[in-house]
Amino acid sequence: MALKIVKGSIDRMFDKNLQDLVRGIRNHKEDEAKYISTCIDEIKQELKQDNIAVKANAVCKLTYLQMLGYDVSWAAFNIVEVMSSSKFTYKRIGYLAASQCFHESTDVIMLTTNQIRKDLSSPNQYDTGVALTGLSCFVTPDLARDLANDIMTLMSHTKPYIRKKAVLIMYKVFLKYPESLRPAFPRLKEKLEDPDPGVQSAAVNVICELARRNPKNYLSLAPLFFKLMTSSTNNWVLIKIIKLFGALTPLEPRLGKKLIEPLTNLIHSTSAMSLLYECVNTVIAVLISLSSGMPNHSASIQLCVQKLRILIEDSDQNLKYLGLLAMSKILKTHPKSVQSHKDLILQCLDDKDESIRLRALDLLYGMVSKKNLMEIVKKLMLHVDKAEGTTYRDELLTKIIDICSQSNYQYITNFEWYISILVELTRLEGTRHGHLIASQMLDVAIRVKAIRVFAVAQMATLLDNAHLLTGNVQRKGICEVLYAAAWICGEFSEHLDNPTQTLEAMLRPKVATLPGHIQAVYVQNAAKLFATVLKSQEGNTDSTAAQETSQLMIDRLPLFVQSANLEVQERASCILQLVKYIQKLQQKDVEIAEEVIALFAGELNPVAPKAQKKVPVPEGLDLDAWINEPPSESESEDEQPRAIFAKEEPKHSRPRHTEVDEKELAKRREARKQEQANNPFYIKSSPSSQKVYQEAPGVEHIPVVQIDLSVPLKVPGLPMSDQYVKLEEERRQKDRADKKKKEKKKRKEKRSGRGKRHDSGPESEEDITPAHMVDIVTEEMPENALPSDDDDKDPNDPHKALDIDLDNLMEMAGRRPLADSEKLPVRSHRAAEVLKSPAQDGDAESAASQEPKKKSSKEKREKKKDKDRDRKKSKEDKKKKKKHKHEEKGEDLLGGQAEEPVVQSEATSEVAAPPTSTTAEVSDLDFWLSNAPVPSNTQEAATVVAAAEAAPTSEVASGTAPDSEPDEPKDTETEETKSSKHKKKKQKKEKEEKEKKKKKKHHHHHHHSDGGGEESVQNGTVEEEEPLPPMSNYCLLAENSYIKMVNDIQGNLQDGSQVVVSVIFENKCDSFLKSMEFNVLDSLNSKLQRPEGSGPHDGLTVPFQLPPGVSNEARFVFTMQSIITPQKLKGTLTFIVKNEDSSTHEKLDFKLHFTCTSYLISTPCYSDAFAKLLESGDLKCSSVKLEGVVMPFHHLLARICFRHHFSVVERIDSCASMYSRSIQDHHVCLLVKTSGQTVSIDAKCDEPTLLGNVLDEIKQTFSQC
């Protein structure tokens, strides 16, 4: 052995280590790849050796090669080997390698579960730490599910080093396994107040990350965070919290009001720029959320803008950048405060730093007005010319278009200028935004009627000079513009000066090099132009001109008929034939122009981009339902169950395709879309949603627009937009002069029709009259379209699954405790009803304090809870009353909080006062926020409420259960969480209720039911009919006055001879339980697996201790020889009960019952495989009848599935086939039928003894109920 080690280390000396590898690579610069490939061969050899040190060295080198881009996934198994080394050195290497190259589809990951679990519970904190770090990088849904419970335990580890890592990794676990969020949340919340700042910071980090995606669920934590914010000195934590508040304020304006003051203080006091910046940011968020409500925050805005100006003026480019970034947020709601800093921002446009210029550009968007638009755009155009990189230039281009087109071209006074700008932009080289310019051209030409003449002239020039745009290959993006040009020239061809020339330009052979969709538009619009030309020429006496035009078409179109693009080909051949026919008629001297024109008659309206999506689906139309049943599946399925079982009752077969679940539907939809996309005959959505032809009945009432003739209509060649700026100046001057002259005369064209739109501009702009009185046609939307705008959400966002309501979990008892299905899985994820962790008891805060709980009977506890709740409620009402008083005195909330202990002592005349810590009070968000002004008339109501409340309070004090409407507390509670908007209403309602209550008092006594029972039903797996009752497989194992054990048994699929017994130990006494040892007497058939080296009769140490009131779960593995009969094993649990002064040894005997069911594993089975199995003839038959079963069929099935680990293969009416498999691969098939109260179960299995036992157990399950 020693020799081997020595040999191993000598071997190692000759191996290359990481440093040698790196050196080697550096020495082989020329043939690096070759050198590395020989290294990889060496590494492969090393990995084959037994010596773990050699392997670890190899894996370490692989990690380096991975960074260089080499795929090392082939060594995944070796990495796992190194991970499982007992030496920390190697373990760390293994985990590092795993974290660098493992991911969800790495198949060896599933082998690591047990190793990681072992490392997590290692006594060495660094083993645990390394495992947590590694896991955080490659956690998969399976790992998250299997290890969630272990990690949760680590959150309460004694070492803060482990705690903070465990807390942090929980976020990853939540992402992969969202079900863990609810059960883990109370503990996470508790960590917010951990004594260690690192742990606290980690908890803040995780909650901020969660809240960022689903802020509304975390509103109730606001008071706690507020407390942290005012107490913490750690800037990291502060920044996170302040950022979180920024996300929360939009949801709750009252929160914002509360925040302003402390944030302003921080802004004034902090020296850390990062903190200052985040404070400013959050204040801005607050101001945005308040902008509609409170006008009186100009001081805060001024403060922010002022601080930001300081940042922007700073020489540090980082601060400058961030200042601009934050400024753009203010801009949205308070444009005026920003506009006064226009000078600064324009200055930033000239900054040498591109990031800063981009930010300044963003700000410009909000700075423009009618007055300065031209000036700003001119400046931007200069930048466009100067810009070196295409990205920045493209950004400039989009910004120019954004700025000009914002709010329906609000700031554009001269559209000719705008068209000129657009045309100038087409001269940009290599821009990707051709389509953007094109769509603007189309939009303006369609919507601004007056500009069409000008636009058409410009577009004709563009078409004429098309070679300039298409000449260079690099300019591909820009040729999209021709699409718009061709379309505009065709559609508005009546405005063309020289249509023949344009027609000629559109039919040049060069056009054939354009992309297909543009050619298609060319062809179509050539036809429109042709119609116009025809019409103009037909009036002439000489018909040859017209015939020449037709000949031109006939000559040129065949080029397009040969196009590879189907669309082009189709249109061209269609139009070619049409022209040929026209030519024939022309030769007969038939007047045809009118008829040809009629082909393209009709106005068109712009349609809003989302119009199609917004058409509501008519009632009763289910787009996902089958129109006809699919033929293939149904036939075989219908026959199949009949053939198998001997006795068969007549049953109706019914189509059950509607039962297809959502996922399946989504998949099919996707497949259908795919199919459509590949189908050339399926019409796809067109790239521009705006060119939809429509008969427009509403065109007549679009007012005709007058054109100001101060602008020259004829612009030679390509226009220079600059001249418009000059012209505009002159025009404005003239306007002003005119105005002075005829002050009393109102100008005809002055905003008569469009007053509204102009009002929104700054006041100074009133002086500026638009050169064009344009009518902007608004985009059309379908009738009764839904205004919702949430169609942009990504359905694949992993955070969607984390949108879980956590409030109820944290507030008062009995509201909505964790449902059974929400318990964290312990190896197998199944329910644990009997599990009585303090968290489940409802009071989250009692879990936090882990205070010893008085052991009391269930009834007593329930009563207490009721009292508790009512007491709190009354307290709340009192507080409300108080609050009004505070308002009168103008007192702050924190003062109110300080008074709480007094309130508490008032109400606590009870016997056993359960812990009502301040956290409970603080979590009452509504109260916390309630120093916001309340309408005065509610005060009256509040006093009435308080008066009404007095009576019940005294009753609580006397110890009887309070009487009230059974559903009343729920009502008020839910209402309390609503925002202040409802406050008035709520209080009125409360008042009514109280009055009702008064009347009803002494009439009937109601015990509140726990409420949790009902609620959890709704959380359970709900089928289509009724909700299922909660179920649990945990059954009582043994109990005495100290401890209670419940257990569940699960087969281990990976090992056919193993079952896992999960035992939950619950400490029922006031003392500490420790040194628990679990032991059973092995039988010949079944043995408890003990660690290596321990004797066959040694007990197993339970790996935890139990403080009072706490429960925890441990797992024990048993090995089974035969699984066909049930077995019982006797066992003992020994433990030490430790009090402050004494400790005693105690023991508890139990009998562990292994049913045959526990060897079964619920395995899904497809109906065809099921049919094959039954037909194979290897299975033996057996059957059983159950009488007097009164429960819905789906409950019955659910019970069999749940208790006996079956899965439903298929269900038809009152008949279902089910399947399960044993750990030793016996197939068990059931056919369950019900009629009235009789249930008959026919079963088949390849092992008759097992089958008999399983059936007996099923029978027993149903005889119990």
1100-1101, strands of its sheet edge to edge: 1100-1101, 1072-1080, 1127-1138, 1143-1154
The 382-401 contact track toward another protein, x by CB under 8 A, reads: ---------x----------
Among 137, 615, 660, 1189, interactor with another protein by CB under 8 A = 137
Q: Is 248 in the site for another protein (CB under 8 A)?
A: no
Residue 37 to residue 42: CA distance in whole angstroms? 9
Quick one: which segment of 65-73, 594-602, 704-712, 1117-1125 binds another protein (CB under 8 A)? 65-73
Q: Is 353 in the site for another protein (CB under 8 A)?
A: yes
Quick one: which segment of 69-77, 408-416, 1097-1105, 1147-1155 binds another protein (CB under 8 A)? 69-77
Q: Is 70 in the site for another protein (CB under 8 A)?
A: yes
Nearest residue to 413 (alpha-carbon basis) of 780, 132, 729: 729
Helix (H) or strand (E) holding 1229: strand 1227-1235
Q: Is 32 in the site for another protein (CB under 8 A)?
A: no
Quick one: which segment of 129-137, 418-426, 454-462, 1123-1131 binds another protein (CB under 8 A)? 129-137
Residue 518 to residue 514: CA distance in whole angstroms? 6
Among 171, 245, 415, 1065, interactor with another protein by CB under 8 A = 171
In sequence order, what E strands does 1026-1162 have? 1035-1039, 1043-1051, 1058-1067, 1072-1080, 1086-1088, 1100-1101, 1111-1120, 1127-1138, 1143-1154, 1160-1161
Q: Is 19 in the site for another protein (CB under 8 A)?
A: yes
Whether 1137 and 1144 have beta carbons less than 8 Å apart is answered as yes
Whether 605 and 689 have beta carbons less than 8 Å apart is answered as no
Quick one: which segment of 64-72, 524-532, 785-793, 1035-1043 binds another protein (CB under 8 A)? 64-72
CB 775 to another protein: min, Å? 36
| Residue with Cβ nearer another protein (392 or 1150) | 392
The 81-120 contact track toward another protein, x by CB under 8 A, reads: ------xxx--xx--x---x--xx----------------
Nearest residue to 519 (alpha-carbon basis) of 551, 552, 480, 493: 480
Whether 473 and 515 have beta carbons less than 8 Å apart is answered as no
Nearest residue to 1018 (alpha-carbon basis) of 784, 1155, 822: 822
Chain centroid, CA 909 distance in Å: 48
The 275-314 contact track toward another protein, x by CB under 8 A, reads: --xx------------------------------------
CB 225 to another protein: min, Å? 15
CB 219 to another protein: min, Å? 18
1035-1039, strands of its sheet edge to edge: 1035-1039, 1043-1051, 1058-1067, 1111-1120, 1086-1088
Q: Total number of residues binding another protein (CB under 8 A)?
A: 70
Q: Is 243 in the site for another protein (CB under 8 A)?
A: yes
CB 799 to another protein: min, Å? 11
Among 35, 64, 365, 1104, interactor with another protein by CB under 8 A = 64
CB 822 to another protein: min, Å? 24
Dihedral of alpha carbons 659, 664, 669, 673, sign: negative
Q: Is 274 in the site for another protein (CB under 8 A)?
A: yes
| Residue with Cβ nearer another protein (352 or 981) | 352
Residue 734 to residue 728: CA distance in whole angstroms? 10
Residue 300 to residue 889: CA distance in whole angstroms? 25
The CA-atom distances, in angstroms, between 887 and each of 898, 936, 1192 are 16, 11, 57
Among 54, 162, 287, 322, interactor with another protein by CB under 8 A = 322
Quick one: which segment of 318-326, 580-588, 658-666, 1157-1165 binds another protein (CB under 8 A)? 318-326
Among 115, 214, 355, 821, interactor with another protein by CB under 8 A = 355
The 1134-1173 contact track toward another protein, x by CB under 8 A, reads: ----------------------------------------
Q: Is 11 in the site for another protein (CB under 8 A)?
A: no
Whether 366 and 387 have beta carbons less than 8 Å apart is answered as no
Among 5, 299, 382, 947, interactor with another protein by CB under 8 A = 5
Residue 1173 to residue 1154: CA distance in whole angstroms? 27
* Per-position DSSP letters for 301-349, written without gaps between them: HHHHHHHHHHHHHSS-HHHHHHHHHHHHHHHHH-HHHHHTTHHHHHHHH
Q: At 532, list the tokens.
A: 């116009």
Site for another protein in 960-979 (CB under 8 A): none
Q: At 1057, list the tokens.
A: 């001879």
Q: How many residues does the chain have?
A: 1265
Quick one: which segment of 136-144, 626-634, 707-715, 832-840 binds another protein (CB under 8 A)? 136-144
Dihedral of alpha carbons 1243, 1245, 1249, 1250, sign: negative
CB 69 to another protein: min, Å? 4
For 823-852, letters b (16+ CB in 10 Å) and e give bbbbbbbbbbbbbbbbbbbbbbbbbbeebe
Residue 379 to residue 222: CA distance in whole angstroms? 46
CB 317 to another protein: min, Å? 4
The 181-220 contact track toward another protein, x by CB under 8 A, reads: -----------------x--xx--xx-xx--x--------
Q: Is 132 in the site for another protein (CB under 8 A)?
A: yes
Whether 523 and 497 have beta carbons less than 8 Å apart is answered as no
Farthest-apart Cα atoms in the chain, separation: 125
Query: 1147 forms bridges with which residues in the sheet?
Result: 1134
Helix (H) or strand (E) holding 1219: strand 1215-1222
Q: Is 172 in the site for another protein (CB under 8 A)?
A: yes
| Residue with Cβ nearer another protein (161 or 365) | 161
CB 17 to another protein: min, Å? 10
| Residue with Cβ nearer another protein (357 or 836) | 357
| Residue with Cβ nearer another protein (67 or 621) | 67
Q: Is 66 in the site for another protein (CB under 8 A)?
A: yes
| Residue with Cβ nearer another protein (323 or 825) | 323
Among 145, 165, 189, 994, interactor with another protein by CB under 8 A = 165
CB 1190 to another protein: min, Å? 52
Whether 383 and 396 have beta carbons less than 8 Å apart is answered as yes
| Residue with Cβ nearer another protein (247 or 1080) | 247
Quick one: which segment of 224-232, 272-280, 540-548, 783-791 binds another protein (CB under 8 A)? 272-280
**DSSP one-letter code for 1090:** -
Residue 493 to residue 529: CA distance in whole angstroms? 6
CB atoms within 10 A of CB 244: 24
Q: What are the two backbone dihedrals, phi and then psi, of residue 979, each rounded to the nearest 5 degrees?
A: -80, 175
Among 11, 142, 354, 775, interactor with another protein by CB under 8 A = 354
Quick one: which segment of 177-185, 354-362, 996-1004, 1041-1049 binds another protein (CB under 8 A)? 354-362
| Residue with Cβ nearer another protein (793 or 981) | 793
CB atoms within 10 A of CB 761: 17
| Residue with Cβ nearer another protein (238 or 1060) | 238
Residues that bind another protein (CB under 8 A): 5, 9, 18-19, 22-23, 26, 53, 60, 63-64, 66-71, 87-89, 92-93, 96, 100, 103-104, 124, 126, 129-130, 132-133, 136-137, 139, 161, 164-165, 168-169, 171-172, 198, 201-202, 205-206, 208-209, 212, 235-236, 239, 243, 273-274, 277-278, 317-318, 320-322, 352-356, 358, 391
